[in-house]
Amino acid sequence: MAFVDDGFTYATLTTAIQNYCEVDTSVFTATITDQFIGNASLRCLRDLNIDAYRASQVGSLVVGQQYINAPAGCLFVRSIQVTEDDTTPDTTQYLEKRDVTFINEYNKFTDTSSGRGIPKYYAMFGGTTTMTGATDSTSGTIMFAPCPDKTYSFQVNFSKRPPGLTGSNTTTYLSVNFPNGLLYACLVEAFGYLKGPTDMLTYYEQRYNNEIEKFAMEQIGRRRRDDYDDGTIRLYIDSPSPSK
């Protein structure tokens, strides 16, 4: 394999792609190679729930505020929690996700001084639009129901789009911790660009799929389990039932 113990850097991954495809910069310019790396990184991100790209953002809701910006770079919201800071002890509750139509209908009948309260529901929409009460980001808008009756703290837990591997950002979590899978994903892009040979494209697609399965066992298996609570993994063994 063409990587060192510390994984790939932008420069070594670029060189590896050229070497595996047996071409040079006259065929794979920096612009083209950057597209391979960018597409491959996004594929890895969407194929697998990666712990390193979980994030959270906190803020405050004021009286009557229905909308907030989704955090910058948010791909999807995992959960939202709202806290009443002025109670003893502080109370925190997680909101239930609903469709935008539900939120609109709910607030249509409750957005009065007597109908407001601590938010119970949220919905997400948009990406480039601007709503009254919130300057929308390219990640979308989050709306609440009921509208707050006082100031509440909130925390949005989400998965973010990470910075890409570039000449100025020379390593990423994927390039260091999943270098072989990232390379195979790049080679799928590269051989598709070269339009063949088909057997090599199929080969690297299979290699990528094998590696993403192993990485998934780490990310959504071992990283979310500990020996104290879960103990030894038990594998089901299919065996014939005893004869009567």
Judged against a pLDDT cut of 60, whether residue 127 lies above it is answered with yes
Q: What does DSSP assign to residue 63?
A: T
> What single-letter DSSP state applies at residue 131?
B
Residue 198 to residue 244: CA distance in whole angstroms: 54
Write down the residue that tokens 């609570």 correspond to: 229
Structure tokens at 51: 């712990």
The DSSP call for residue 168 is S
- Determine the pLDDT at residue 2: 46
Confidence band of 239 (pLDDT split at 50, 70, 90): low
The confidence band for 125, taking pLDDT boundaries of 50, 70 and 90, is confident
Using alpha carbons only, how large is the chain's radius of gyration in Å? 24
Residue-level pLDDT at 197: 85
Q: Supply 42's token pair.
A: 């996004």
Relative to beta strand 121-125, strand 96-97 is parallel
For the record, the structure tokens of 163 come out as 């910075």
**How is residue 224 annotated by DSSP?**
G
- The pTM for the full model equals 0.76
Q: Domain ranges for the chain, please list them.
A: 10-50+165-225, 63-150
What are 123's strand-pairing partners? 143
| Cα dist from 130 to 24, 59, 65, 76, 124, whole Å | 46, 19, 15, 19, 13
Query: Is residue 38 predicted with pLDDT exceeding 80?
Result: yes
Instruction: Write out the two tokens for 91.
Output: 């109370």
What count of other Cβ atoms lies within 10 Å of the Cβ of residue 43? 18
- pLDDT given for residue 81 in this prediction: 95
In the numeric block, the tokens 């109370």 are attached to 91
Residue 157 DSSP label: E
Beta strand residue intervals within 89-241, DSSP E: 91-94, 96-97, 121-125, 141-145, 152-160
Instruction: Give the residue from 74, 45, 92, 62 showing the smallest Cα distance to 141.
Output: 74
pLDDT tens string 62-94: 999 999 989 888 888 999 999 987 666 668 899
The pair of structure tokens assigned to 203 is 């080969």
| Locus of tokens 């039932």 | 241
